[in-house]
Amino acid sequence: MNITLIATTAMGLESVLAREIKELGFSAAQSFNGKIEFQGNLEDICRANLWLRTAGRILIKVGEFKATTFDELYEKTRALPWGQWIEETAQFPISKVTSRKSTLFSKSDCQSIIKKAVVDSLKTYHKVSNLPETGAPFAIRLQIENDLVTLSLDTSGSGLNKRGYRSHMDLAPLRETLAAGLVLLSRWRPDKDVLFDPLCGSGTILIEAGLIAKNIAPGLNRQFVSEQWQIIPPELWAKARQEAQDSIIKENNFQIFGSDKSWRALEIAQKNTGLAGLTNFNYQKLNLNETSLPFSTGKIITNPPYGERMDDQEETEALYKEMGLHFKKEFAEWSYYVITPHDDFEKLFKAKSDKHRKLFNGAIQCWYYQFFA
């Protein structure tokens, strides 16, 4: 069965996700704004969900067509092979509707038309007059862009950033998928480069690095909604999980250090690291200006405070200045990777980055400043 899969991601991470998809053995990945399309089979739904570190969700593309009228939207949606996926008893909410630069822009109208078309299509396919909608969920997504309608089914359920290792949510941590992206973009080599985050908070960057180092599939400790679908036999999930389990590198082949000025953050970081199944991390309570490591080279990847509130701005700017001075003194031959929305970061840090890339931390447009040793 040949299926078109769509992996979604945060804007700016498309090339990293494309690299991951290629490394997982898929070819001909096509990249759009925050989305990558590739071809796979049922087993690949399991593998993509388990393995793709920077993907937000894995969707099945059910169909794509041009539509400028509601009649066209209804007819073309109804003609798609919904019954092939959606079981007679399934729930099938229209979970997300987006419309950009298109004639059909009323989301609520599009939503009810899609629902009606899918209901009619399923009744015909399953030869029934009633659909109880009590079974497994098949969330439908509708995207209209320049009158091009894309309809897809969500195979992930909760977003793939939910790895199952987060014990607390109150520190505004970095999204796991973005943290993994920062590590992959830095081209960190676990067996060669020391890794340090001196403002580690709950440790997301370091934990994602640890998962990469040990080749632990990020989804290994969670469930996916499509595990409830009849069309994917449980053996396929079991096989993909077993393969992921067998791929784990047993020894700790990395040197990872984290520090923060906050005890509470460090407590959470320790706890999350354990929940992620990782050991041998070195956490210390230190102020940024007290940090030092006995290695001449390595990589610092960090997500400092952004100073979003007016009264925090001065403190944040002072921290960025201190960071520049301290890194150059204590970590002179290291590479640094810093994500912040601050346009003046380089001025405060007093160095011009070798590269900077636009990335989104949720809705916040940031820069990923990269300084190479």
Q: How far is the CB of 186 from ligand SAM (least distance, A)?
A: 14
**Among 5-13, 197-205, 244-252, 293-301, which window interacts with ligand SAM (CB under 6 A)?**
197-205
**Among 159-167, 214-222, 249-257, 301-309, which window interacts with ligand SAM (CB under 6 A)?**
301-309
Of the candidate residues 202, 255, 335, 353, the single one contacting ligand SAM (CB under 6 A): 202
* Amino acid at the residue 179: A
- Residue nearest to ligand SAM according to CB distances in the complex: 201
Distance, in Å, from the CA atom of 258 to the CA atom of 209, rounded to the nearest integer, reads 12
* Site for ligand SAM, residues 250 to 279, rule: CB under 6 A: 260-262, 265
Interior angle at CA 235, CA 38 and CA 35, nearest 5: 20
Does residue number 201 form part of the binding site for ligand SAM (CB under 6 A)?
yes
Give the interface size with ligand SAM as a residue count (CB under 6 A): 18
Does residue number 178 form part of the binding site for ligand SAM (CB under 6 A)?
no
**Quick one: which of 320, 326, 284 has its CA closest to 304?**
320
Q: How far is the CB of 204 from ligand SAM (least distance, A)?
A: 3
3-state secondary structure 341-360: CCCCHHHHHCCCCCEEEEEE
170: left (phi over 0), alpha (psi -120 to 50) or beta: alpha
Distance, in Å, from the CA atom of 292 to the CA atom of 335, rounded to the nearest integer, reads 14
* Site for ligand SAM, residues 305 to 364, rule: CB under 6 A: 305, 319
**Among 47-55, 148-156, 198-206, 325-333, which window interacts with ligand SAM (CB under 6 A)?**
198-206
Q: What does 233-276 look like in DSSP terms, one character per residue?
A: -HHHHHHHHHHHHHH---S----EEEEES-HHHHHHHHHHHHHT
**Among 73-81, 151-159, 209-217, 299-307, which window interacts with ligand SAM (CB under 6 A)?**
299-307
Distance, in Å, from the CA atom of 212 to the CA atom of 206, rounded to the nearest integer, reads 10
* Interface pattern 145-174 for ligand SAM (x via CB under 6 A): --------------------------x-xx
**Quick one: which of 213, 188, 179 has its CA closest to 339?**
179
Closest to ligand SAM by CB, 78 vs 163, is 163
Does residue number 195 form part of the binding site for ligand SAM (CB under 6 A)?
no
Sign of CA dihedral 217, 218, 220, 224: negative
Tokens matching residue 241: 């999980």
Of the candidate residues 287, 292, 296, 365, the single one contacting ligand SAM (CB under 6 A): 287
Tokens matching residue 81: 């092979």
- Alpha carbons within 13 angstroms on the beta-carbon side of residue 119 total 13
Residues of this chain that interact with ligand SAM (CB under 6 A) are 171, 173-174, 199, 201-202, 204-205, 260-262, 265, 287-288, 303-305, 319
